[in-house]
């Protein structure tokens, strides 16, 4: 049979020499290798204190965005829910009342907006579908939870902090996007 | 009233000594489990347990608490008496060894000369071997009483391994006994401390190697941990055990490690002897304390080597284990014994 690469090596069927049959030199060699690892740098990242930086294209937890004046961008058009291949998004629309202009950007808004994080596959299609730049995927991932219910994120969990009242939180949640 | 004319101070002295040594060894064993995890981690480029307390130093207590809180399961089909007896026997046998180990010379307290050894019996090393063979019963009974075929297989392996390697160990030991002319561990240590004598490792390098390999096998440590070979026997002879009974088995292994390290230090590395220092020039109490430190240092080094080997070498196959024991170790030990005997005869010129 013709070899595909020149990397293959034949197995040596030679009987072991006396030195090899002693085992001790080989064992000492192995022990020297493990001992040298004591002084090697440890690649561990001590997680809660240290975090590995995410790539800018990382798709983590969803964020419902606000505009510069702190108004919710979402108009509950439902395009994200349609785009979602995992059918993780549900919403209920409501009409903006005359005294709510400072809360919602358009006349229609999402009264209820839920993403089931157990269904979500973090594909980012909702982000692409959104015509209002209202939803995007951040650089954090869903924390552990004790119940299935806890993984259904509502508006309280998803909405980004208001840039006027809580600029630091807004910047932190917005990340580098 | 002759019965009351007993040296009560001696009794109290020995009881205190026993308590200190037993709890001391348990404490060291506790931290040996921690050291095992740390050494494993460091050799594998990991930080190891570091969450419980500073540097993870409280980890052994967390582990112990976890074991205590676990559900105690006794299988329906097991032999209950033997099932409970097994771990107790393993632990007892492991701890009993410490009775004859000379931890240091003597201290002088309250006008009394207190030997830092529980019992200096003149057949000390034979006693050690007797007790160590009792440890096999812990494994055998545990594996048998579990009524589980894997446990039984592991117990059989453990027993046959221990018996095979005890032979070579004993033969290696005979050479040491020929050198020192005594079975008492204190006398063997004293012989190595005497002027003009070196440690037995100088006279018995091959004997030490055989003894060391056999000690690994006796403690069921890698590369001879066949009784608990996870990939063939699930978890070995303690598979059906849970909670603190399992803890006792695991703990007994570490106590065994400490005791065999101590025995090796006494037999081949001068026990509580400090190299290049004449202890007789020091005050007896200072010498005794330094001696304890020296012995503990040697034990720690041995334990580290045990762990270092564990995280380096893979396990032997069972036929390789038996071949090594019967076809290599025993002939080597016999040859070592014969050569030592011949050399002693030639030197004394009889």
pLDDT given for residue B2 in this prediction? 60
Chain A contact present for B42, CB below 8 A? yes
How many percent of chain A have pLDDT more than 90? Answer: 19
Chain B contact present for A29, CB below 8 A? no
Closest of B76, B132, B246 to residue B236, by C-alpha: B246
The answer to the question of residue A43 being in a domain is no
pLDDT given for residue B273 in this prediction? 80
Q: What stretch of H or E contains A114?
A: strand A108-116
Chain B contact present for A28, CB below 8 A? no
The answer to the question of residue A151 being in a domain is yes
Contacts of B228 (CB under 8 A, 6+ apart): B154, B220, B235, B236, B237, B238
Q: Do A44 and B46 touch (CB under 8 A)?
A: yes
The answer to the question of residue A56 being in a domain is no
Q: What is the DSSP letter of A54?
A: P
For residue B164, pLDDT beyond 80? yes
The string of pLDDT tens digits covering residues B21-31 is 888 888 888 88
The answer to the question of residue A161 being in a domain is yes
pLDDT, mean of residues A76-81: 90
- Residue B95 CA to residue B248 CA, distance in Å, equals 11
The answer to the question of residue A119 being in a domain is yes
Measure CA of the first residue to CA of the last residue in chain B; give whole Å.
Answer: 53
Q: Do A31 and B309 touch (CB under 8 A)?
A: yes
What range defines the domain where residue A126 resides? 62-174
How many percent of chain B have pLDDT more than 90? Answer: 3
For residue B230, pLDDT beyond 90? no
Is residue B315 very low, low, confident or very high in pLDDT (cuts 50, 70, 90)?
confident
Chain A contact present for B44, CB below 8 A? yes
Q: Do A40 and B46 touch (CB under 8 A)?
A: no
A5 annotated to a ligand binding site: no
**Average confidence score pLDDT of chain B:** 84
Q: What CATH number does the domain containing A106 carry?
A: 3.30.70.3270
A74 annotated to a ligand binding site: yes
Chain B contact present for A17, CB below 8 A? no
Cα dist from A158 to A64, A71, A72, A76, A135, whole Å: 5, 14, 11, 14, 9
A100 annotated to a ligand binding site: no
pLDDT given for residue A177 in this prediction? 62
The answer to the question of residue A14 being in a domain is no
For residue B4, pLDDT beyond 70? no
pLDDT given for residue B3 in this prediction? 64
pLDDT given for residue A84 in this prediction? 92
pLDDT given for residue B121 in this prediction? 83
pLDDT given for residue A92 in this prediction? 92
pLDDT, mean of residues B161-190: 86
What tokens does A86 get?
């995992």
The answer to the question of residue A50 being in a domain is no
pLDDT given for residue B27 in this prediction? 87
How many inter-chain contacts (A to B, CB under 8 Å) are there?
Answer: 33
Domain count, chain A: 1
Q: Which residues of B172-197 are buried (b: 16+ CB within 10 A; e: fewer)?
A: bbbbbbbbbebbbbbbbbbbbbeeeb
pLDDT given for residue B350 in this prediction? 62
Chain B contact present for A16, CB below 8 A? no
- Residue B132 CA to residue B323 CA, distance in Å, equals 22
Q: Identify the closest residue of chain A to B50 by CA–CA distance.
A: A46
Tell me the nearest-neighbour CA distance from B321 into chain A, angstroms: 13
For residue B1, pLDDT beyond 60? no
The answer to the question of residue A79 being in a domain is yes
Among A120-129, B142-151, B318-327, which range has the highest average pLDDT?
A120-129
Query: Is residue B33 within 8 Å of residue B103, measured between CB atoms?
Result: no
The string of pLDDT tens digits covering residues B252-299 is 888 888 888 988 888 888 878 887 777 777 777 888 888 888 888 999
């Amino acid at each position: 049979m013709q070899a595909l690469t020149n990397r293959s090596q034949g197995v040596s069927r030679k009987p072991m020499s006396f030195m090899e049959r002693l085992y001790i030199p080989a064992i000492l060699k192995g022990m020297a290798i493990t001992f040298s690892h004591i002084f090697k740098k440890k690649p561990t990242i001590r997680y809660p204190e240290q975090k590995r930086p995410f790539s800018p294209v990382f798709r983590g937890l969803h964020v419902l965005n606000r505009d510069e004046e702190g108004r919710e961008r979402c108009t509950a058009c439902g395009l994200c829910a349609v785009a979602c291949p995992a059918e993780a998004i549900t919403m209920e629309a409501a009409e903006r009342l005359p005294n709510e202009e400072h809360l919602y950007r358009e006349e229609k808004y999402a009264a209820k907006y839920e993403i089931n994080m157990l269904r979500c596959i973090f594909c980012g299609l909702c982000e692409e579908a959104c015509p209002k730049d209202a939803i995007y995927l951040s650089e954090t991932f869903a924390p552990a939870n004790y119940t299935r219910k806890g993984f259904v994120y509502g508006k309280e969990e998803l909405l980004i902090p208001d840039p006027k009242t809580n600029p630091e939180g807004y910047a932190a949640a917005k990340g580098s996007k | 009233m002759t019965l009351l004319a007993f040296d009560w101070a001696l009794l109290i002295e020995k009881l205190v000594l026993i308590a200190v040594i037993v709890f001391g060894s348990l404490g060291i064993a506790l931290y040996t489990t921690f050291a095992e995890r740390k050494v494993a981690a460091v050799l594998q480029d990991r930080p190891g347990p570091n969450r419980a307390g500073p540097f993870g130093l409280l980890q052994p207590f967390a582990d112990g608490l976890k074991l205590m809180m676990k559900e105690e399961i006794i299988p329906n089909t097991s032999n209950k008496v033997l099932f409970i007896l097994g771990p107790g026997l393993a632990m007892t046998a492991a701890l009993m060894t410490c009775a004859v180990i000379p931890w240091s010379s003597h201290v002088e307290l309250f006008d009394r000369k207190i030997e830092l050894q529980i019992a200096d019996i003149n057949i000390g090393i034979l006693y050690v071997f007797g007790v160590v063979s009792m440890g096999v019963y812990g494994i055998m009974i545990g594996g048998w009483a579990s009524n589980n075929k894997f446990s039984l297989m592991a117990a059989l392996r453990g027993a046959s391994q221990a018996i095979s390697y005890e032979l070579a160990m004993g033969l290696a030991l005979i050479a040491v006994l020929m050198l020192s002319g005594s079975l008492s561990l204190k006398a063997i240590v004293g012989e190595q401390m005497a002027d003009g004598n070196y440690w037995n490792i100088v006279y018995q390098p091959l004997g030490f190697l055989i003894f060391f390999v056999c000690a690994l096998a006796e403690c069921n440590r890698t590369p001879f941990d066949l009784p608990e070979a996870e990939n063939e026997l699930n978890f070995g002879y303690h598979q059906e055990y849970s909670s603190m009974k399992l803890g006792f088995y695991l703990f007994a292994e570490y106590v065994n490690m400490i005791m065999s390290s101590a025995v090796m230090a006494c037999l081949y590395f001068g026990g509580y002897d400090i190299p290049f220092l004449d202890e007789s020039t020091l005050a007896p109490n200072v010498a005794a304390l330094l001696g304890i430190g020296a012995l503990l240092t040697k034990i720690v080094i041995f334990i580290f080597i045990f762990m270092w080997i564990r995280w380096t070498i893979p396990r032997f196959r069972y036929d390789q284990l038996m071949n090594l024991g019967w076809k290599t170790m025993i002939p080597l030990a016999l040859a070592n014994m014969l050569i030592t005997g011949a050399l002693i005869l030639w030197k004394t010129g009889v």
